[in-house]
Structure 1
Amino acid sequence: MSAPVLVFDLETVPDIEGARRLYDFDGLTDREVADALFAMRRAQTGSEFLRHPLHRIVSIGVLYQGGEALKLSAFGRDGEDGHTPDEAELLRQFFGVIDQRTPTLVSWNGSGFDLPVLHYRALVNGVQAPRYWEQGDDDREFRYNNYLSRFHWRHVDLMDVLAGFQGRAVTGLDTMASLLGFPGKLGMDGSMVWPAWRDGRAGEIHDYVEHDVLNTYLVWLRFEHMRGHLTDDALKSRQDQLADYLAASPAEHHLEFLEAWRG
């Protein structure tokens, strides 16, 4: 029986409190701190993309698929009691799935962005993840196939693998998904996350991360078909499973994705 799959994606904002400690930004508003960080980074590199440790995670989109089980969610949404989980809670939820299920992790650019950010932010928040960090000391099966080694298969960075591990050959998720006839981006992109968070529109961020996870999962299914792990019928079955799941969902952004995908 094949391992369950956990497709994931992060959405982040500047670590305002961390920046205050690093750069003596006391007295500045959150917006002023973020603007200062972006300006410093732009002066250093020509890009506003912050260093990995300064990305605070506000949403983790996950799609879990194992046999007939399928679940899509965004860690970070308010609970039924109105509680908004903090970053440490998001990290514990994510690594908890790995501890309990040992799924195959699937990402797009996870090796270059998502996993390093998860490492730094787990360290900052004191979050343990023993199964994720296993390399064969306690479980021999992890010696030659673990989550950390680039050429192992417990984590599949689709962008990296499809590019043949050549940086000059990489492409974006939106491009690849659209080429395959999937929805791609639906009205939001990564550059819009901080303004949305700053303006109190967290729900839009959680919807957006779920859309990215859906696109990644659909690309993953085609990848599994390409390398012979799914037959034509199995591919169709998995796609139909997802379409049925979305059709039964009360969430408008799920139906939006389904309409854009299958019309």
Structure 2
Amino acid sequence: MPRVNVLVFDIETVPDIEGGRRLFGLDGLSDEDTVRAMLALRRQESGGREFLRHHLHRVVAISVIFRHPRLEEGVKVWSLGEAESTEGELIQHFFDGLERYTPTLVSWNGSGFDLPVLHYRGLINEVVAPRYWEEGDGDREFRFNNYLNRFHKRHTDLMDVLAGYQGNANAPLDQIATLLGLPGKMGMDGSQVLDSWLEGDIAGIRQYCETDVLNTYGVYLHWLVNTGQLAPGERDEEFRLLAGHLTGSGEEHLQAFHDAWTGRHDG
């Protein structure tokens, strides 16, 4: 594989309840009522849309796939930190990985959502991330290839690239993954994350996030063939490597992803 230092990532978020109370004077309301009030205010502000502005999304999970020769298995999927980690700890873990390995980042809508959220929430949580923000002053190699420029290669936002950088051509990850024979959504979807978090099901959110990065990685491997960076046989070898990790992980949700994936091809 031409790129063996790749970090595929995805985040899951919930409304920043404490921030909402502070900004909108919602003291005294329960968590659920605070969320309802924040969404109602957003609908008024936006003319009907409930999706909160980026800075009001609190990060509750960051899941990654790391493809690196130093790994014993060559590839690994997991969620950063622990279920009880603070938002700041999760975000710092993410940027520490960039500091140590300088991987190629791969995402689905990372430029439009995940990274701006990490920018704001990293700022709020006093996260330190000099490698990520490098633009060539400290490392000349970053002058023409850095994480921040939309058209540079250190971050590949697959949704953005495949849409030709045209927002009206964006497609859902779930549908593209399914069309490529990948499982697509499993267990829950993004609309259920808040309820799961309010119920204390952080483990379920982390598992859902991991299946999203698995779908993203699968799309990425197909895209590498599409762009001539991998031969089909090399992509299939990468899939076998990933399948071995999933079946050997001992994690039920990863095994379920593997079974759904291979079941589609068997059918």
Which TM-score band (shorter chain)? over 0.9
| Offset of residue 76 of structure 1 | 4.5
Aligned residue for 1:168, secondary structure, equals helix
Partner of 2:122: 122
Mapped to 1, the partners of 2:22 and 2:210 lie a distance apart of: 32
Partner of 2:3: 2
Partner of 2:231: 231
Q: How does 1:1-263 map to 2 (within 5 A)?
A: 2=3, 4-45=5-46, 46-67=48-69, 69-78=74-83, 84-263=84-263
Give the partner amino acid of 2:20.
A
- Please list every run of 5 or more consecutive structure 2 residues that lacks an aligned counterpart in the other structure: none
Mapped to 2, the partners of 1:58 and 1:163 lie a distance apart of: 28
Aligned length: 258
- Please list every run of 5 or more consecutive structure 1 residues that lacks an aligned counterpart in the other structure: 79-83
- Deviations along 1:69-125, whole A, 9 cap, x unmatched? 2111112533xxxxx110010011100000000000000000000000000000000
Mapped to 1, the partners of 2:98 and 2:212 lie a distance apart of: 20
Q: Would you say the 8 A contact 2:81–2:93 is kept in 1?
A: no
| Offset of residue 187 of structure 1 | 3.2
Structure 1 residues 76 and 34, CA gap change in structure 2 (3 angstroms): farther
Give the partner amino acid of 2:198.
R
- Deviations along 1:158-203, whole A, 9 cap, x unmatched? 0000000011111000010001010000131111000000011111
Identity %: 54
Aligned residue for 1:71, secondary structure, equals strand
Structure 1 residue ranges, 4+ long, deviating more than 2 angstroms after superposition: none
Give the partner amino acid of 2:130.
P
Give the partner amino acid of 2:169.
A
Aligned-pair Cα RMSD in Å: 1.1
| Offset of residue 3 of structure 1 | 5.1
Aligned residue for 2:137, secondary structure, equals coil
Mapped to 1, the partners of 2:35 and 2:232 lie a distance apart of: 48
- Deviations along 1:189-239, whole A, 9 cap, x unmatched? 111000000011111100100000000000000011111111122111100
Partner of 1:81: none
